[in-house]
Structure 1
Amino acid sequence: MVPLLPSYAVAPGAWRYAAICFAAAIPTILLSPPIGAVALALGVAVLWFHRDPSRNPPESGIIAPADGRVSVLREEGDRLRVGIFMNVTDVHVNRAPAGGTVQSVDHRPGANKPAFSKDSDRNERVVIDCDDYEVTLIAGWFARRIHPYVEVGDDLVRGQRIGHVSFGSRADVLLPARYDREDVLVAEGETVRAGETPLVATESR
């Protein structure tokens, strides 16, 4: 399990991806400087993509689990789903929207459609059930690796790092049933920040 609020410069495992590029750059930079420079730049880009800045969670409310743009806001039975599309320029480390105890971490295989499309509802995903709410990490067309950091029984605090999607793509929150649309503070198309932007004002009415 990852510690509650560590100050990683990059997400766990990022150096493994970058090392492939750096290893390729070493022999090629002498034989073919342009190709070596491209490989070096790719390695730096991989580390930048997996950057993991610190955040300052508010003391109350349910907060965004991801950086990006709100792409889904819909009712599912008596609950609301808020989905956040992570663009290539966004931070891809995901955070707990509220405190809670992890009830299950469920990997569900599926397609790899673009995460901004409606077809992404059938994509590969990892669902983290915290009883009162759920966080779903969804792979996109390029993403193939979802990395949850938490396990069943873990007690989460608001803003804690809970996982990341390498080169991917969407994070959803299924809000507790006690909230309705009037409680939601964000709208489709709005930009949010993981661990900081409130999705609803308080944890209870």
Structure 2
Amino acid sequence: MRMRDTFIKPMHPEGIKFVAIFAAITLVLFLIWQPLGWIGVGLTVWCYYFFRDPERVTPDRPGLIISPADGVVSLIEKAVPPAELGMADEPLTRVSVFMSVFNCHVNRTPIAGEIKAVAYRPGKFFNASLDKASKDNERNSLRIEMEDGRDLAVVQIAGLVARRIVWWVEPGSKLRTGERFGLIRFGSRLDVYLPDGVQPMVKIGQTMIAGETVLADLTAQG
């Protein structure tokens, strides 16, 4: 890897207009007062890195469930998947990955399969690290039918400063493990509802890398 590639990452197209806005404001700030302009430069660089979209090397062994988001595991608990997905009304193990404003916010498919349902629901904007965010916050939910016929749910949840959930998949879409499916702007969380009987291989506080960190293994013996 070249030294330049360590610091300069590809940017998702969703971020182009925001970086342009930050850059334009920075030019105005320089005209007003040079120190303000340098603050604008720092914020523009941050905006660019927020929308970074680096390539990831996804494990390709069948049965692995991969983290859909960069961030930290904030919760592991039993919970019923969002009702709008039409899944069974039984608690499943939910693993929540909290993304700060410094994480890459491009979301990736945790496991290969077909999208059976996509359900957006408006809501509030509590801190995404809180448990009640799963129930009350704005969210977009996906139900993925895996190759073995079982379902897995992944939910994008808006956070305290997030005001836009983006996704580009629809029912019938067939995705590979680690494939990009959406992003959330400015601080948020991803919940993964594991199939019944599948145990997570991560712990609260663990750092996750979207498309790379193994979250669970369908073939593991409990």
State whether TM-score is above 0.5: yes
Q: Which residue of 2 aligns with 1:199?
A: 215
The one-letter code of the counterpart of 1:14 is G
CA contact (8 A) 1:115 1:141 kept: yes
Query: What is the number of equivalent residue pairs in this alignment?
Result: 195
Q: Which residue of 2 aligns with 1:126?
A: 140
Distance in 2 of aligned mates of 1:97 and 1:20? 33
Stretches of structure 2 lacking an aligned partner (at least 5 in a row): 1-8, 80-89, 146-150
Distance in 2 of aligned mates of 1:38 and 1:151? 40
Any idea what the Cα deviations from partners look like across 1:50-76, whole Å, max 9, x if unmatched?
111111111130111111111121123
Q: Which residue of 1 aligns with 2:26?
A: 25
Stretches of structure 1 lacking an aligned partner (at least 5 in a row): 1-7
The equivalences for 1:86-105 within 5 A come to 86-105=99-118
Question: Which stretch of structure 1 is more off in the superposition, 154-163 or 187-196?
Answer: 187-196
Q: Which residue of 2 aligns with 1:158?
A: 177
CA contact (8 A) 1:69 1:192 kept: yes
What's the TM-score once normalised by structure 2's chain length?
A: 0.82
What RMSD in Å do the two structures reach over aligned CA positions?
Answer: 1.7
Q: CA deviation at 1:78?
A: 4.5
CA contact (8 A) 1:133 1:174 kept: yes
Residues 1:99 and 1:204: Cα distance change in structure 2 (over 3 Å): farther
CA contact (8 A) 1:11 1:164 kept: no
The one-letter code of the counterpart of 2:73 is V
Q: CA deviation at 1:90?
A: 1.6
Residues 1:203 and 1:143: Cα distance change in structure 2 (over 3 Å): farther
Q: Which residue of 2 aligns with 1:70?
A: 73
CA contact (8 A) 1:70 1:190 kept: yes
The one-letter code of the counterpart of 1:202 is L
Any idea what the Cα deviations from partners look like across 1:178-203, whole Å, max 9, x if unmatched?
42xxx321111211111111111235
Question: Which stretch of structure 1 is more off in the superposition, 153-162 or 37-46?
Answer: 37-46
